[in-house]
Amino acid sequence: MTTDMTSVLRFERRERVALLVIDRPARLNAIGSDTVAELHQHLDVIEADPELRAIVITGEGRAFSAGADISELDTLQNGADFGRFVKGLTDAYDRLEASPVPSIAAINGMAFGGGCELALACDLRLAAPGARLGVPEIKLGLLPAAGGSQRLTRMLPAAVVKHMLMTGAPIDAAAALQFGLINSVHDDVLAAALELAASLAEGPPAALAASKRLVQLGGELTLAQGIDLERDTVSKLFDTADRTEGLTAFREKRQPKFEGR
């Protein structure tokens, strides 16, 4: 394991998995402009390194993230300043969601506001039994502004999303699992996320990236268009060395060794 200490977002290399830890526990891992700047920096490194094939994001201490850094919000003078602040968050979260490298949120505690939105931008979400996810911005006279209302709307029933937005009340891990907002609940959520990430890291990178793209684009297309996209995507995967390796390994009854080619 190698570790790169940074001010607010710690990077640890766990073989083929990049572990990113929001490291501001005294402030419940509040997310500010510095956090998203470092997220971009780490994604630059991860996406340029073919040996890093999965990402796990978690929080240090008892919270995943309580949300946007209120001390930074207090310095904003007007709506235009606020718009620039949340655009920084949105751009970083959009990039994470679009990254070809699969990502997993290990939600170890509260994930509120911008912290919840960060978890929503990940491909998969695992949670500790005591985790809670919420968008409490209504209590500040605001609403989620980094994709929260829109990603939640695409993941949950409308009545559930409206209740979360209008009351600011969070949902616990059990309810999140029931609604399909998270994938599973674990007592040791970080260990479970790292194990899942290690499994993904053994998979074919091009096919994993393509699976993300099919899901993300599929909801915006008609069924016929989506099927066309699926066929075109898989036809391209058929020409990869990893496809050859996968079929060869199947015939030889061994585990495939995908190299990302």
pLDDT for residue 219 is more than 90: no
Q: What is the reported pLDDT for 228?
A: 95
Share of the chain above pLDDT 70, in %: 98
User: Which pLDDT score, from 0 to 100, does residue 234 have?
Assistant: 93
More confident residue, 219 or 25: 25
pLDDT digits (tens, 9 = 90+) for 87-118: 999 999 999 999 999 999 999 999 999 999 99
Q: Which of 181, 165, 163, 164 is nearest to 173 (CA)?
A: 181
Q: What angle do CA 12, 15, 21 make, to 5 degrees?
A: 20
User: What's the pLDDT score for residue 78?
Assistant: 94
Question: Per-residue pLDDT averaged across 226-232, rounded?
Answer: 95
Q: How far is CA 96 from CA 55, 62, 152, 188, 214, in A?
A: 10, 23, 17, 24, 16
Q: What is the pLDDT of residues 245-257, one digit of tens each?
A: 888 889 888 888 8
Query: Pick the residue with more confidence: 186 or 242?
Result: 186
The pLDDT score that the predictor gives to residue 194 is 98
Q: How do strand 17-22 and strand 9-14 relate by DSSP bridges?
A: antiparallel
Element (H, E) at 172: strand 171-172
Q: Which amino acid is at 231?
A: R
Rounded to two decimals, the pTM is 0.93
The DSSP code for 30 is -
Strand order in the sheet with 17-22: 2-4, 9-14, 17-22, 54-59, 103-107, 124-127, 184-185
Residues 6+ apart with CB under 8 A from 26: none
H or E stretch at 55: strand 54-59
Give me the residue label for tokens 């570790």.
3
b/e for 69-105, b at 16 or more Cβ within 10 A? Answer: beeebeeeeeeeeeeebbebbbebbebbbebebbbbb
| Mean pLDDT for the stretch of residues 47-51 | 95
pLDDT tens-place string over residues 3-14:
555 579 999 999
Q: In this predicted structure, what is the pLDDT of residue 247?
A: 86
Q: Is the pLDDT of residue 41 over 70?
A: yes
Give me the domains of the chain, ranges plus CATH numbers. 2-201 (3.90.226.10), 205-252 (1.10.12)
Name the average pLDDT for the chain: 94
Query: Using CA atoms, how far apart are residues 74 and 77, in angstroms rounded to an integer?
Result: 8
Mean pLDDT of the region 122-131: 98
- Compute the average pLDDT of residues 166-173: 97
Active site residues: 117, 137
Task: Give the DSSP letter of residue 31.
Answer: B
Farthest CA pair distance, the chain:
65
Which tens digit of pLDDT belongs to each residue from 144-161? Answer: 999 999 999 999 999 999
